[in-house]
């Protein structure tokens, strides 16, 4: 079976793992860290590492689940307009245009189109920067992903008593595709 991988960072990655594990078309969800350099240890990152971001790796079947739908789920639970470590990281160059287009849509959502005196509506999302919201979600090509140890995977399933920011039960029952 042909599968693709996408990487999401931001929020609590343990919660993200639980959320994406139940999405139709998702084969596997792995918690780990994204690094700007080749770091091979999950616990002890390279001292000169520029970034060391907690993230989830999502392996999905593109015939059953679209990348934009996965990003819709991500931006449903995490606010892209808040200044956090929210990001979408891709490993395949074919995903770059779709990710960029989706984030451009998110950044310009709710903005009115430009209308000229001749009553022509121009679909220009960048005509007035003051009227668009700042989208802090980052996009980038993945350089390195190190999976967390097995005892970190699906941590919330083994410890349901731990409080979460997202009501996972309610979210899973409301998730429909």
Give the pair of three-digit tokens for residue 48: 């000169």
**Whole-angstrom Cα distance, residue 5 to residue 58?**
5
With beta carbons less than 8 A apart as the criterion, state whether 154 and 22 touch. no
**Whole-angstrom Cα distance, residue 172 to residue 177?**
11
Q: What b/e sequence results for 75-97 when a residue is b if at least 16 CB atoms lie within 10 Å of its CB, and e otherwise?
A: bebbebeeeebbbbbbeeeebee
CATH topology of domain 4-107+134-174: 3.30.1060
**Whole-angstrom Cα distance, residue 48 to residue 110?**
41
CA 12 to chain centre: 12
Residue pLDDT tens, the chain, 177 long: 889 999 998 888 888 999 999 889 999 999 999 875 544 444 454 555 446 888 999 999 999 999 999 998 898 888 887 766 788 999 888 888 888 888 888 777 666 655 556 555 555 555 566 666 677 788 888 888 889 888 888 888 888 888 878 777 777 777 765
Tell me the longest C-alpha to C-alpha distance in the chain: 63
Radius of gyration of the chain (CA): 18
**Whole-angstrom Cα distance, residue 8 to residue 70?**
10
Cα pseudo-dihedral 92, 97, 99, 102, rounded to 10: -160
**3-state SS assignment for residue 155:** helix
């Amino acid at each position: 079976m042909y599968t693709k991988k996408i990487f999401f960072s931001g929020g609590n990655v343990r919660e993200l793992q639980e959320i994406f594990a139940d999405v139709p078309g998702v084969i596997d969800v792995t918690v780990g860290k994204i690094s700007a350099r080749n770091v091979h240890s999950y616990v002890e990152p390279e001292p000169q590492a520029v970034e060391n971001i907690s993230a989830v790796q999502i392996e999905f079947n593109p015939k059953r689940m679209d990348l934009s739908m996965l990003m819709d789920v991500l931006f449903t639970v995490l606010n892209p307009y808040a200044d956090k470590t929210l990001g979408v990281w891709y490993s395949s160059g074919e995903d770059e245009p779709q990710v960029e287009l989706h984030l451009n849509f998110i950044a310009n959502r709710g903005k009115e189109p430009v209308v000229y005196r001749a009553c022509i509506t121009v679909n220009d999302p960048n005509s007035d920067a003051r009227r668009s919201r700042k989208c802090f979600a980052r996009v980038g090509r993945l350089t390195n992903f190190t999976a967390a140890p097995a005892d970190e995977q699906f941590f919330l399933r083994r410890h349901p008593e731990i409080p979460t920011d997202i009501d996972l039960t309610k979210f899973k029952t409301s998730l429909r595709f």
